[in-house]
């Protein structure tokens, strides 16, 4: 009987130590986060190949047309154009005002990494509960899509490019 108690209290001690260990790890994580070590500040350019976008002004009509064609085929099933309301993903309206052009192009061309690592994209995923699929869009096509979104914002929101850094 006595040795059962000893074994039991030994097990209990191990459990307590184990829990203590976990708590310590948590505290370390929290500290590191406070110091900005473990959790990076969100980069307003997002994550991917696109680090700088030259915007045309006035808008480029050919790019708008090609961007709209791609969007109608590959994107419109999940994104509405003239509203921010969600279909599957958020509507395009004001996207160029809430995000930088680099972020938008990285989201389109590097969506898997963005959804795994970019805090802004991750937050949207939590709300939408659907992962935007990789649509195999080239950088050139992504730039045309961006031009269409700029046109779309000018037309339906009355302003564009508010997200430019």
Interface residues toward ligand HEC, by CB under 6 A: 71, 74-75, 77-79, 88-90, 95, 99, 104, 107-108, 115, 121, 124-125, 128, 130-133, 135, 137, 145
Q: Which residue is nearest to ligand HEC (CB)?
A: 89
Nearest-CA neighbor of 38 among 119, 112, 96? 119
Closer to ligand HEC by CB, 6 or 88: give it: 88
Closer to ligand HEC by CB, 36 or 158: give it: 158
Tell me the closest approach of the beta carbon of residue 107 to ligand HEC, in angstroms: 5
Closer to ligand HEC by CB, 17 or 139: give it: 139
Tell me the closest approach of the beta carbon of residue 96 to ligand HEC, in angstroms: 9
Asked if 49 and 139 count as a contact pair (C-beta separation under 8 A), the reply is: yes
Q: In this structure, how many other beta carbons lie within 10 angstroms of the beta carbon of residue 93?
A: 21
Tell me the closest approach of the beta carbon of residue 87 to ligand HEC, in angstroms: 8
Chain position carrying tokens 């192009």? 105
Tell me the closest approach of the beta carbon of residue 145 to ligand HEC, in angstroms: 5
CB-based burial of residue 76 (10 Å sphere; 0-12 exposed, 13-18 middle, 19+ buried)? middle
Asked if 42 and 126 count as a contact pair (C-beta separation under 8 A), the reply is: no
Tell me the closest approach of the beta carbon of residue 108 to ligand HEC, in angstroms: 5
Closer to ligand HEC by CB, 41 or 85: give it: 85
Report the C-alpha gap between 40 and 15 in whole angstroms: 33
Closer to ligand HEC by CB, 5 or 129: give it: 129
CA of residue 71 relative to chain centroid, distance? 19
Could you tell me the two tokens for 153? 């914002």
């Amino acid at each position: 009987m006595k040795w059962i108690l000893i074994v039991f209290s030994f097990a209990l001690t191990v459990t307590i130590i184990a829990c203590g260990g976990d708590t310590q790890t948590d505290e370390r994580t929290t500290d590191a986060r406070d110091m900005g070590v473990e959790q990076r500040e969100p980069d307003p350019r997002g994550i991917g190949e696109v680090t700088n976008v030259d915007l045309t002004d006035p808008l480029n009509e050919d790019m708008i047309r090609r961007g709209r064609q791609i969007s109608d085929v590959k994107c419109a099933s999940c994104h509405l154009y003239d509203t921010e309301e969600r279909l599957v993903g958020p509507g395009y309206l004001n996207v160029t005002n809430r995000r930088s052009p680099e972020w938008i192009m990285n989201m389109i061309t590097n969506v898997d990494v963005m959804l795994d690592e970019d805090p802004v994209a991750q937050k949207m995923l939590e709300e939408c509960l659907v992962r935007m699929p990789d649509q195999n869009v080239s950088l050139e096509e992504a730039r045309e899509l961006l031009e269409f979104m700029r046109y779309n914002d000018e037309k339906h929101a009355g302003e564009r490019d508010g997200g430019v850094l």
